[in-house]
Structure 1
């Protein structure tokens, strides 16, 4: 196993495959480094692909201090991965919690990102649901500690946005749920409290997002309800952004629809590398319906 040590002394497990322009994959709360296997197998044919398990996710360290978990720290961990591997710039691909970290990476370190893929990112972003999201995040943390990961994983894996995955790919969903049950209950609880429950709403970042020039692909499943409006928001405010909505799909996009996910991401990366993923043309005025003069 390969490890790196972050700026605050936390060891992170990582692995890589392939050669070429680097891609770093950043997993969701319910996943870990293993969640990106369909992407590692596909993209390592042409790219240097890197995955890592976030702090709190064994075999990475599980710090006991809540102050070792935050959105800013999760963002900085991506930077530490790049620095450890001597990668100057990379495409960053993140899902859900990893999507938030990916977006923040583009805001904080635009010179280190070739492009950003932000998939299934939106939970807690909607202003009307901010308080609810923080409260339910704290309750999820409490249940992980009270029941343990093997037991509570069976509940968490049946969240509304995971049902589409279970219905269309029961074997894939069962593997997801089993791996979730192998997580550290303490690490999951600390991640929920420190990262999820405390991160800022995407809407509070609007001014910074409007100035971000990094090419961005936003992805959401059409049955992942609380990611749809935040996805539209990102499309409307980030200049060089595109939006892909996957039909009859939920939250776990890269595992639920791996072929379509890979196709969309590969086309995006290829377009970026050709210098053709451009900011929206100012003539495409959002308020205009038809031209009369």
Structure 2
């Protein structure tokens, strides 16, 4: 089985398809590498596509300690996959947790990115409710440990941002959460405790984000309430960003609306590769 090795020795499983300019896909908390299948099948027609499971997600390694599940570990793991494949530069396409990691790569290693797509980004960023969010993450970690993944999946599938998926596509929704029920409970608990409860709010990084010039596409579902304000914040602060809202959509954008997602990202990548995705013209800013 193909694996890359992280800086601390953790083995990361990946799959790839196609050839051309590389695209690296980074999944959300409730997903793994398999949830990018609609994108790998589509984008591999013209690009080299790579999807990997984050640490804590089988068949990647599942370290026992939550201390090695910080947001720094997650974004440097993305770089480790690129290094293993000898890819100097790639388009990064992330969803939720994967979007946060993509943004961190842009902040710390911008030379490795052609572009970044940040979908469903920024939940839990509200500074007013940050302590409550972190407490909920720790409580969810305990649920994974005491109840197991099957029972937690039953709870997660009823979260507000997940309901639009259920309304549109009950079969796809059921498949998605059946897969979550098979996740390793220890890995999920460690990710909740280390990454989700420990990552800084994007609102605390405004000054650093303003300096990022990487072409960025921000995508948000208009019924994904937790991500609307952070998406608007990033549109305001990322110099070379565009923002797209998907109507009647929640959090799982690449599976809720796969055709629209693929079309939107494909157009963005094509404009970037044509050298036509520029920072915002200051003349367009109202003062």
Question: Above 0.5 in TM-score?
Answer: yes
1:184 maps to what in 2? 184
Q: How does 1:191-202 map to 2 (within 5 A)?
A: 191-202=191-202
Q: How does 1:73-112 map to 2 (within 5 A)?
A: 73-112=73-112
In the alignment, the residues of structure 1 paired with residue 41 and residue 227 of structure 2 have an alpha-carbon distance, to the nearest angstrom, of 27
Instruction: Give the structure-2-normalised TM-score.
Output: 0.99
CA deviations over 1:85-136 (Å, ceiling 9, x no partner): 0000000000000110011111111000000000001111111221111011
Tell me whether 1:70 sits opposite 2:32 in the alignment: no
Task: Name the stretch that deviates more: 126-135 or 265-274.
Answer: 126-135
Instruction: Give the drift of 1:67.
Output: 1.6
Instruction: Give the drift of 1:7.
Output: 1.0
Instruction: Give the drift of 1:140.
Output: 0.8
Tell me whether 1:16 sits opposite 2:9 in the alignment: no
In the alignment, the residues of structure 1 paired with residue 39 and residue 7 of structure 2 have an alpha-carbon distance, to the nearest angstrom, of 28
2:6 maps to what in 1? 6
Instruction: Give the drift of 1:70.
Output: 0.5
Instruction: Give the drift of 1:5.
Output: 1.4
Tell me whether 1:240 sits opposite 2:260 in the alignment: no
Instruction: Give the drift of 1:286.
Output: 2.8
Instruction: Give the drift of 1:40.
Output: 0.4
1:122 maps to what in 2? 122
The SS at the match of 1:128 is coil
In the alignment, the residues of structure 2 paired with residue 240 and residue 48 of structure 1 have an alpha-carbon distance, to the nearest angstrom, of 24
In the alignment, the residues of structure 1 paired with residue 58 and residue 38 of structure 2 have an alpha-carbon distance, to the nearest angstrom, of 20
In the alignment, the residues of structure 1 paired with residue 276 and residue 243 of structure 2 have an alpha-carbon distance, to the nearest angstrom, of 16
In the alignment, the residues of structure 1 paired with residue 149 and residue 31 of structure 2 have an alpha-carbon distance, to the nearest angstrom, of 13
In the alignment, the residues of structure 1 paired with residue 6 and residue 42 of structure 2 have an alpha-carbon distance, to the nearest angstrom, of 28
1:210 maps to what in 2? 210
CA deviations over 1:131-150 (Å, ceiling 9, x no partner): 11101111111111111111
Q: How does 1:29-44 map to 2 (within 5 A)?
A: 29-44=29-44
How many residues get paired? 287
2:172 maps to what in 1? 172
1:277 maps to what in 2? 277
Instruction: Give the drift of 1:264.
Output: 0.5
In the alignment, the residues of structure 2 paired with residue 105 and residue 285 of structure 1 have an alpha-carbon distance, to the nearest angstrom, of 27
The SS at the match of 1:251 is coil
The SS at the match of 1:60 is coil
Q: What stretches of structure 1 of length at least 5 have no aligned partner? A: 288-293
Instruction: Give the structure-1-normalised TM-score.
Output: 0.97
